[in-house]
A and B are shown apart, each in its own frame.
Chain A
Amino acid sequence: MDTPARYFDLWFIHISYPNLIVIGLMIVLFAVALVAPFPHGSDRDA
């Protein structure tokens, strides 16, 4: 916690690995939410 984060550098992209991991996790979570079956999804009003 007391040491500065390491950074990912690619052309104009300059982002810390913790932030990069969180953004990657969010994209994965969003994609999973789109395709994962929702429980009792068929028990809804038409």
Chain B
Amino acid sequence: MLDAAEVKEVKPDSAATPDHGSWTLRTRQFVDRVLPMDHLLPHRQPYYVGSWVYVFGVITIAALVWVVISGVVLSFMGPQWWHTSSLGRFFNSLHFWSVQLFFLFMVLHLWGQYFMAGWRDGRAATWMIGVVIFAASILTAFTGYLSQQNFDSQFIAINAKDAMNSGGIGAFFNVLNFGQMYGLHVMLLPIAVTFLVVWHIVMVRVRGVVKPIGPEGGSAS
């Protein structure tokens, strides 16, 4: 039986272990250095985080979770179900209104980060990923409106095709092609938005929440 001292000797220490070309070790050391667990899941926050403005981003994520859950149910059951049954209409409405909340709170989060200059102190990439999420979300919502399978979606598609053709992308992005729009809406774009949101959150955790703007214009000390 090993005593405590021996156990300590055989315990792997990533910082002291020599690198013998192991990419798993280098990856683990990189993650430990860049994103330690107390940064990823902090139990305390700086005093300036005690404001409702910082809640907008979390509500946006909560809305996204409901968008995905209701969307999975809708895609599983299909258009006939979501248009004709009461439960289907409920999930259809749940999907629609969670999207409304997602956009509403995403824009409030955007306002908050804009006025506190959230890109300061090495957070430019976090801001830019947020911008890309906004753009990808608009495209996701647009393909969602085209996937409704009702007169509304037909009206939007017929009108949107001219805009797409005038932009030179009509042949590639054909809004009259339901299969293409539906595929983009339920597969590629949600994966892209979810991946970008996770990336955005990880970058926020790496750098921490931006400090308030000080009286001289720079970050408060």
A residues at B contact (CB < 8 Å): 22, 26, 29-30, 32-34, 36, 38, 40-42, 44-46
The interface centre, meaning the residue of B45, B47, B112 with most chain A CB atoms within 10 A of its CB, is B47
Q: How far is the CB of A35 from chain B (nearest CB, A)?
A: 9
Q: How far is the CB of A18 from chain B (nearest CB, A)?
A: 11
**Structural contact, A32 and B104, CB atoms closer than 8 A:** no
Which A residues lie within 8 Å of B104 (CB)?
22, 26
Q: How far is the CB of B50 from chain A (nearest CB, A)?
A: 3
Q: How far is the CB of A43 from chain B (nearest CB, A)?
A: 8
Partner of B46, one of A26, A32, A40, A45: A45
Give Cα A41 to B45, complex, Å.
10
**Structural contact, A30 and B111, CB atoms closer than 8 A:** yes
**Structural contact, B52 and A36, CB atoms closer than 8 A:** yes
| Known contacts A22-B104, A26-B104, A26-B108; A33/B56 CB under 8 A | yes
Which B residues lie within 8 Å of A42 (CB)?
47, 50
**Structural contact, B112 and A44, CB atoms closer than 8 A:** no
- List 6 other contacts, CB 8 Å, given A45-B44, A45-B45, A46-B46: A26-B107, A44-B48, A44-B49, A44-B50, A45-B47, A46-B47
**Structural contact, A44 and B52, CB atoms closer than 8 A:** no
| Known contacts A44-B46, A45-B46; A38/B108 CB under 8 A | no
**Structural contact, B108 and A34, CB atoms closer than 8 A:** no
**Structural contact, B50 and A38, CB atoms closer than 8 A:** yes
Which A residues lie within 8 Å of B44 (CB)?
44-45
Q: How far is the CB of A8 from chain B (nearest CB, A)?
A: 19
Give Cα A44 to B50, complex, Å.
7
**Structural contact, A38 and B111, CB atoms closer than 8 A:** no
Which B residues lie within 8 Å of A32 (CB)?
52
